[in-house]
Amino acid sequence: MQIPLPPVPLPAHLVDVAREFEDGTRRPVEPRDAATVVVMRPSDDGPEVYLLRRQVSMEFAAGMSVFPGGGVDKRDFDASVAWAGPSPAEWARRLGTDEETARALVCAAVRETFEESGVLLAGTSDADVVADTTGDDWEADRHALESRELAMTELLTRRGLVLRTDLLGAWDAWLTPEFEPKRYRTWFFVASLPAGQRTRDVSTESSSVHWAPARVAADQADRGELAMLPPTYLTCLEIGRLGSPEEVLEIAQGRTLEMFTPTVEPLGDGFTLSLPDRLRPLVAERPR
């Protein structure tokens, strides 16, 4: 089910479905935890972000432009994973969750970014980061991670690496509306593209990938040139107002996240999806 960008009125049939969940006629499906990472690099037009266009055959967000990411799985709960940066307890505070879940979310964020873009946020210590992941041996490891033949803990141990969790920032948290047939509890992270590393079109779930200034990507979504779900669009809108990846990461270091679930709210004679209060002014400023 495709949801229009805010503050577009919702179709009447979608409002009717949402009401059935509100009055208990229908029960929402249980959401799955997920992590997504806004990989950024500098440009003359503000932070550029790395976007993947999901295959139109996908069950969730088909054809949408998204950031690298995906669901948490059992591999991500390994407490022995090599770790550098803020502690799992500190990440739990920032992400608004328990320590075990926070550790898994951070691990999933790093793993999914490597699987879907070839970018690895890891180094031999908390003072360095892998400079190049384009070799055949790295590609074999990426494939093994993607196929679940290899866990992130195993990859890091064999290569003498640690997760550079300090390279991540906590940005936002969204829970898919109750009326959606597939639901995700998704934490949004931000990270700069490490020096020397290159993104690659490697994800089996995407039909194409590209870099674009976040501001430009939001403009393209407004014009219907890019299809985005509201959280992706709003993230591009917010990041696009900032001058550099460093500025984004500085803001992220001070954030503690609270999960937001869009609900149906009045809009003129119709209805739309609600937004976090801090983002309402950004949407109101957009030309219509």
- Of the ranges 4-8, 14-18, 100-104, 265-269, which one carries the lowest mean pLDDT score? 4-8
Supply 70's token pair: 């995906």
d(CA 269, CA 267): 6
| Cis check: omega of the bond before 266, within 30 degrees of 0 | no
Whether residue 2 has pLDDT greater than 50: no
Domains defined along the chain, listed by start = 12-284 (3.90.79.10)
Calculate what percentage of the chain has a pLDDT beyond 90.
70
- pLDDT tens-digit map of 155-191: 999 999 999 999 999 999 999 999 888 899 999 999 9
From residue 146, how far is each of 38, 242, 288 by CA, in Å?
A: 19, 33, 41
Max Cα-Cα span within the chain: 60
- The pair phi, psi for residue 213, each rounded to 5°, is -55, 135
Q: What average pLDDT score do residues 46-54 get?
A: 92
From CA 146, how far away is CA 140, in angstroms rounded?
10
Tokens for 141? 């490891």
Residue with tokens 């591999």: 75
- Work out the mean pLDDT of the chain and round it to a whole number: 90
CB 66 within 8 A of CB 205: no
Identity of the residue numbered 259 = M
Please write the tens of the pLDDT for every residue from 220-236.
998 888 888 899 999 99
